[in-house]
Structure 1
Amino acid sequence: MANRAVLVSQADLSNLNKGKRRQVNPLNWKDRAKKIKKDKGLSYKILKGRKAGTLVAALIPPDGVLFVPRLSCSSAYFKRKLSTFNLGIHETGREEASMYLWDETVAEHTSKDVLSCLYKYLKDHFSPLKAGETRHLILWSDRFVGQFNNCYLLLFLKYLVDHKMFTKAEQKLFITGHSWMSCDRDFGLIEKKFVQMNPIVPDDILDVVSAARINNPFKIQKMIRSDFLNFNVLPDYVCLPKQLQVTRYHCFKYESEHPNILFAKSFHNSTEWQKFNLTVKNKFGFARLRKFPASYTSKLQINRDKGKDLRDLMEKIPDQKKYNFYDELTKFVLEKQ
């Protein structure tokens, strides 16, 4: 009969070395796994569900950029390619992730474009609250000023509270250098599949994202031009105080009980919130803002030098339909300036 090794904890080993009489108990890894799972469940218990009265925590990383066409020829490494943007929204607790995809001919990737994806996600998943209902949103993001850590996102949170989507809305920013989140794992899976599948046109990336996670697959939303709204009009209705330095704080929140007050604190573990009074430019504030104007009215043109590079690369594409996609996209470089 083969000898079976007995795993001994460090505490038991220490007591044995000291000559103490204590029963040696092999480590029960099955029980330990159950305990870890239970602790994790308790941590996220408050975060589950989308119904009224629940806490919804969402993670938003900087949008990932994927470049197509992905070709194996040596010249592909030195040529500029078409940028396809991927914004992920990961709902903590439910472990569900939604991916919003568009390429650089549809929209840019500024703050208003990120807010357009977030707005579409919230409208698709939540309905306005009824009388007496409560819902709390916590939005985690990094400190990238161009997309998240700015006045537009703060005013957008107030817009959500004013329009009764949430009774409380918070933004929490990661400390610089410590911004790992679940979305990074999501993007890692997509990057791995991206290398394996070698997409040629932006629509191929939809297949990449779809195949990236087998269990609980990503929800995919292809953004079109009409989905992108101009949230830069928000300061025309409500203004933040001039003394507020947005990048100095790590936590912000709005509450329906205090409609014109922004609460902010510099540290996550602080219990004291600073109050900032907002300036409403008209009597009704965001109540009159029912529809946002469109951000883009026509197709965006890519850089001319990038167009030349794409015309060189498309000669290596065997698929006629995908070849025609780049031919149509870059015809303008053949015209005389």
Structure 2
Amino acid sequence: MMSARCKKLLELAMRQKDSEDLTVKQRMRERTPLAQKDILRSLPGPSGTLVAQQDILQSLPGPSGNRAYSSDRTSLGEDYSSDDDAQDCNWFPAGTHDEHVSSSLSSKTSTPRSIGSLTVPAVPALVSQTQDDVRKKRKRGVGMMQRKLRKERTEKIKRGEEYINQAGKKILGKSVGELKECRLKCKTKFTNAQLQRVFADYRAMETRDMQRLHLSNHILLTPPIRVKQVENKKKREVSVEYFIENEGNLVKVCQNCFLNVYGENRGFVNGIIDKKKKSATGIIGRDERGRHEPKIKHSSEAIDYVRNHISNFPAYESHYSRRHTTKKYLETGLNLQKMYNLYLDQHTMDNITTKIVSISTYSNIFKTFNLKFKKPHNDTCHTCDTFVAKIKITIDDTEKTRLHDEHVSHQDKANFHYECKSFDKQRAKASGNTIVVAVCDLQQCLATPYLNTSVAFYKRKLWTFNFTVRNCNTGKTTCFMWHEAIAQRGADEIASCLKMFIMSLPEETEHVIIYSDTCPGQTRNNTLPVVYNYILTQKVGLKTIDHKFLVPGHTHLECDADHASIERAKKKYNGRISIPNDWYMLVRMVSSKFTVIELSQDDIFAFSSILKQSLIKKTKDQNNAPFLWRNIFWIRVEKEHPCFFSFKYSLRVEDEFKICDMKRKARASRSNQPIMDVRKAYNQPLLISKEKHKDILSLLQYIDPVYHDFYNNVIKSDNDVVDTSHISDYNSDSE
């Protein structure tokens, strides 16, 4: 009898709603034996109740399928089952038992209930703080999809269509209701077609505010004609008259007719009347719901502080694609998390009172800037990305097929150029040194000094340049290095480096083939055939120079691997890089196959100036057909034809070369080989901008004092010099 009573009490306790999903009985089966003991210990009864509790525990399945563990031997001071206690690995002494159980149970308890003369005590909630309970839940009604659904719901309400409310209940659409007999005889004043037209015009209004204004204009508030005295009831303030427009005339109707014709409820119209009462002019304003400024909105001072912080980071234009994009790129090594950490440090240092914004807010403000982080080395092809995007959104099968064919053709062309390079390399190795194949590219700018301090991210630095040429015959790489106080990195500088490389080749070399990307400011321009013509006049055994360009976006060259080796060495380098000479030393240490040539101003020649002397820049070939440099993929200069260059729009051997004569007409009859006087490009150190020089000097405190003289005396500034260091190699060479 006692056991049945306890079971009944337990069932009543388990019926308490402790959660939305599981009953107490289900959770007891999931809990540990200690949690089950706590429940049973809270049940009232005589001392013999413990036996009944043990019976209940035995009826419940244990964690391993055995009968439940015994109760706490210390709870009543008696040991009823010492053998079972010996098997209870979860048993704790009385002093520590409550602490252990409280760590695994929720603090929630159920409300005590009275059943007859019996009181069921409060039962602790058997919900442990598991990982699922601690996990942050998504707020209801928040997110892009929810905002979209609310907007669609608002539109349907405005049009009077059927919709699903936020609680998931289906709300029927609005229509003209049936007009009943009334004192004003509204039913006889309109035809059904007239009512439908009024309803349609009302529901076709653009916004809900326009509908409110329309109803307000058809409601007239007048002083009450007579006031009936009713005890304990507020006196009527105004009398309300309703009108419906019919063929240009306002027809007075009753309230029920007004509501039925427009398909609105009484609460909506009463809200308009209340606003009309409070308005001095009788014109109601727009609905202000959702238009108030959030209380947690960041102040304008906090937003301005973040914007100023982002603006302090130096940004650089793309050297390759600045004609096609206005985006600027941040320095290597920066990312959004680093910038946010620097923002937190700066906020603490400044000790300002503005509230710190979250990283999500910081990210949203950053997106308003036209900035991007430096792209990785393996950039994707812009043309390929465009084709993929267009194919994905195109519905027409014919158009999709055409785009796919063009994409495949573009990829085939890129692969063909790679195959031509491989073929030329094999042919060169088989010829000994008679044919030499080389690849060249300018590495991205190396910041000097290279510092890890957070302050350095906000400062402009001196650029060190590295033009890399790899001899594919020998596998050796020549690195031509200089800094921006010596020379820039335009066509003359690149031409001077190529001249030094070709002049250093063996005497038996007769044919040189060079591959590069399609950067117009470095190689694919009018200066290139000029320097090759000059080299052929200086090097006796050399007969032909070919320069071939890869397809934009697919310009991976062997020297890119050399640049990657330098980048890896830079990350592992423990020494300091304080001046450009430190970069030269680091590159020498990367590989025994690297040869570093430190350029001076005596090594840079103004080959582009020859186009203003004995040669001339041409835009038409020998057949008077115009050509564009961006379409050329193969240039050939031969010793047999001085002052000429041939070009192709592809790398196919079967295509015919087009010829361009660079001689000036006045001098063409004098000599087939005009004199090429090449002067030096620079006769004094270049000046950098005052702002950059100021930033560099502010970093001297982080540099060894022995190098201060270099920045104080060698590097000069001028107020009139424009900072051109923002043009950087931080993008692909796509055109």
Which TM-score bucket, shorter chain as reference?
0.7 to 0.9
1:85 aligned counterpart, secondary structure = strand
Seen in structure 2, the aligned counterparts of structure 1 residues 206 and 274 have a Cα distance that, compared at 3 Å, is same
Give the drift of 1:106.
Answer: 0.6
Give the whole-Å Cα distance in 1 for the aligned partners of 2:716 and 2:424.
55
Is the CA contact 1:162–1:287 (under 8 Å) kept in the aligned structure 2?
Answer: no
Give the drift of 1:287.
Answer: 5.0
- What residue number does 2:334 align with? none
- What residue number does 1:148 align with? 523
- What residue number does 1:326 align with? 711
Give the whole-Å Cα distance in 2 for the aligned partners of 1:278 and 1:226.
30
Match of 1:249 among 632, 652, 658: 632
Give the drift of 1:270.
Answer: 5.1
Seen in structure 2, the aligned counterparts of structure 1 residues 85 and 122 have a Cα distance that, compared at 3 Å, is same
Give the drift of 1:240.
Answer: 5.1
Unaligned segments of structure 2, at least 5 residues = 1-421, 621-626, 720-735
The one-letter code of the counterpart of 1:136 is: H
Is the CA contact 2:475–2:593 (under 8 Å) kept in the aligned structure 1?
Answer: no
Residue correspondence of structure 1 range 185-200 to structure 2 within 5 A = 185-197=561-573, 198-200=576-578
- What residue number does 1:284 align with? 671
Is the CA contact 1:90–1:96 (under 8 Å) kept in the aligned structure 2?
Answer: yes
Give the whole-Å Cα distance in 1 for the aligned partners of 2:640 and 2:673.
16
- What residue number does 2:616 align with? 239
Give the whole-Å Cα distance in 1 for the aligned partners of 2:610 and 2:713.
37
Match of 2:552 among 153, 158, 176: 176
Is the CA contact 1:159–1:286 (under 8 Å) kept in the aligned structure 2?
Answer: no
1:295 aligned counterpart, secondary structure = coil
2:518 aligned counterpart, secondary structure = coil
2:492 aligned counterpart, secondary structure = helix
Give the whole-Å Cα distance in 2 for the aligned partners of 1:50 and 1:327.
52
2:572 aligned counterpart, secondary structure = helix
Tell me the TM-score normalised to structure 2 length: 0.36
Seen in structure 2, the aligned counterparts of structure 1 residues 44 and 153 have a Cα distance that, compared at 3 Å, is closer
Give the whole-Å Cα distance in 2 for the aligned partners of 1:325 and 1:91.
34
Give the whole-Å Cα distance in 1 for the aligned partners of 2:653 and 2:424.
20
Is the CA contact 1:113–1:229 (under 8 Å) kept in the aligned structure 2?
Answer: yes
2:688 aligned counterpart, secondary structure = coil
Seen in structure 2, the aligned counterparts of structure 1 residues 208 and 249 have a Cα distance that, compared at 3 Å, is same
- Does 2:451 correspond to 1:65? no
Unaligned segments of structure 1, at least 5 residues = 1-40, 128-132
Please, which moves more after superposition, 237-246 or 226-235? Answer: 237-246
Please, which moves more after superposition, 154-163 or 115-124? Answer: 154-163
- What residue number does 2:474 align with? 94
Please, which moves more after superposition, 222-231 or 321-330? Answer: 321-330
- What residue number does 1:22 align with? none
Is the CA contact 1:61–1:142 (under 8 Å) kept in the aligned structure 2?
Answer: yes
- What residue number does 2:600 align with? 224
1:288 aligned counterpart, secondary structure = coil
Seen in structure 2, the aligned counterparts of structure 1 residues 57 and 81 have a Cα distance that, compared at 3 Å, is same
Residue correspondence of structure 1 range 1-337 to structure 2 within 5 A = 44-48=425-429, 54-127=434-507, 135-163=510-538, 164=540, 166-197=542-573, 198-213=576-591, 216-235=592-611, 236-239=613-616, 241-243=618-620, 244-259=627-642, 261-269=644-652, 271-281=654-664, 282=667, 283-284=670-671, 286=673, 288-289=675-676, 291-317=677-703, 319-329=704-714
Give the whole-Å Cα distance in 2 for the aligned partners of 1:230 and 1:257.
24
Give the drift of 1:219.
Answer: 0.6
Give the whole-Å Cα distance in 2 for the aligned partners of 1:134 and 1:211.
30
The one-letter code of the counterpart of 1:80 is: R
- Bigger strand share: 1
Give the drift of 1:123.
Answer: 2.3
The one-letter code of the counterpart of 1:217 is: K
Seen in structure 2, the aligned counterparts of structure 1 residues 227 and 42 have a Cα distance that, compared at 3 Å, is closer
Give the whole-Å Cα distance in 2 for the aligned partners of 1:221 and 1:255.
28
1:169 aligned counterpart, secondary structure = strand
Give the whole-Å Cα distance in 2 for the aligned partners of 1:116 and 1:303.
25
Give the drift of 1:285.
Answer: 5.5
Give the drift of 1:49.
Answer: 9.1
Give the drift of 1:71.
Answer: 1.4
Deviations 1:111-163 (A, max 9, x none): 00111111122223345xxxxx7600111111100010001102222233344
The one-letter code of the counterpart of 2:616 is: C
Give the whole-Å Cα distance in 2 for the aligned partners of 1:46 and 1:331.
49
1:61 aligned counterpart, secondary structure = strand
Give the whole-Å Cα distance in 2 for the aligned partners of 1:292 and 1:331.
27
Is the CA contact 1:62–1:142 (under 8 Å) kept in the aligned structure 2?
Answer: no
Is the CA contact 1:172–1:250 (under 8 Å) kept in the aligned structure 2?
Answer: yes
1:267 aligned counterpart, secondary structure = coil
Give the whole-Å Cα distance in 2 for the aligned partners of 1:259 and 1:292.
16
Give the whole-Å Cα distance in 2 for the aligned partners of 1:228 and 1:298.
12
1:149 aligned counterpart, secondary structure = coil
Give the drift of 1:92.
Answer: 1.0
The one-letter code of the counterpart of 1:76 is: A
Give the whole-Å Cα distance in 2 for the aligned partners of 1:110 and 1:43.
28
2:445 aligned counterpart, secondary structure = strand
1:294 aligned counterpart, secondary structure = coil
Deviations 1:268-315 (A, max 9, x none): 2351123224142333355522x5201111111111111111111111
Is the CA contact 1:150–1:246 (under 8 Å) kept in the aligned structure 2?
Answer: yes
Is the CA contact 1:50–1:126 (under 8 Å) kept in the aligned structure 2?
Answer: no
Deviations 1:74-110 (A, max 9, x none): 1011111110001111111211100011011111111
The one-letter code of the counterpart of 1:264 is: F
Is the CA contact 2:424–2:437 (under 8 Å) kept in the aligned structure 1?
Answer: no
Give the drift of 1:56.
Answer: 0.9
Q: For CA contacts below 8 A with separation 6 or more, give which structure has more relative contact order.
A: 1
Tell me the TM-score normalised to structure 1 length: 0.77
The one-letter code of the counterpart of 2:427 is: I
Percent pairwise identity: 23
Seen in structure 2, the aligned counterparts of structure 1 residues 90 and 313 have a Cα distance that, compared at 3 Å, is same
Seen in structure 2, the aligned counterparts of structure 1 residues 95 and 49 have a Cα distance that, compared at 3 Å, is farther
Give the whole-Å Cα distance in 1 for the aligned partners of 2:603 and 2:430.
26
Deviations 1:193-250 (A, max 9, x none): 223334111000111101112xx43011000111111111232223354323222111
The one-letter code of the counterpart of 1:268 is: L
